[in-house]
């Protein structure tokens, strides 16, 4: 079992981070397809630290749309500058 990092250490480590994000939607709410798209996008970003992932299913009448948002930080500043 992995030892949990104290909150103070997590806060210190996060200082100076820039939280970036992207969201991908699937108009047919095909969740497996959406997960594959998100996984591919994450792999394309390279070395990142995932901060959070959210999933939302919107229903309007008889139609559904699924959206996933990924919040992340680049591990070093050179990656961040290259992505801008």
Query: Could you tell me if residue 14 is inside a domain?
Result: no
29 against 2, higher pLDDT: 29
Distance of alpha carbon 82 from alpha carbon 84, whole angstroms:
6
**pLDDT for 40-80, tens place per residue?**
999 999 999 899 999 999 999 999 999 999 999 988 754 44
Query: Could you tell me if residue 78 is inside a domain?
Result: yes
- For the stretch 54-65, what's the b/e string if a residue is b when 16 or more beta carbons lie within 10 angstroms of its beta carbon? eeeeeeeeeeee
> Using an 8 Å Cβ cutoff, are 72 and 38 in contact?
no
- pLDDT at position 77: 53
Q: Does the reported pTM lie above 0.85?
A: no
Query: Could you tell me if residue 59 is inside a domain?
Result: yes
Structure tokens belonging to residue 59: 């229903």
Query: Could you tell me if residue 18 is inside a domain?
Result: no
Identify which of 22, 17, 30 has the alpha carbon closest to the alpha carbon of residue 63: 30
**pLDDT for 30-39, tens place per residue?**
999 999 999 9
Domain span at residue 75 reads 26-83
Query: Could you tell me if residue 15 is inside a domain?
Result: no
* Structural domains in the chain (count): 1
């Amino acid at each position: 079992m992995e030892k949990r990092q104290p909150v103070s250490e997590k806060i210190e480590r996060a200082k100076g981070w820039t939280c970036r994000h992207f969201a991908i939607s699937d108009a047919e709410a095909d969740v497996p397809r959406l997960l594959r798209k998100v996984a591919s996008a994450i792999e394309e970003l390279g070395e990142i630290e995932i901060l959070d992932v959210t999933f939302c299913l919107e229903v309007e009448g008889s139609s559904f749309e699924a959206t996933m948002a990924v919040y992340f930080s680049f591990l070093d500043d050179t990656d961040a500058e290259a992505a801008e």
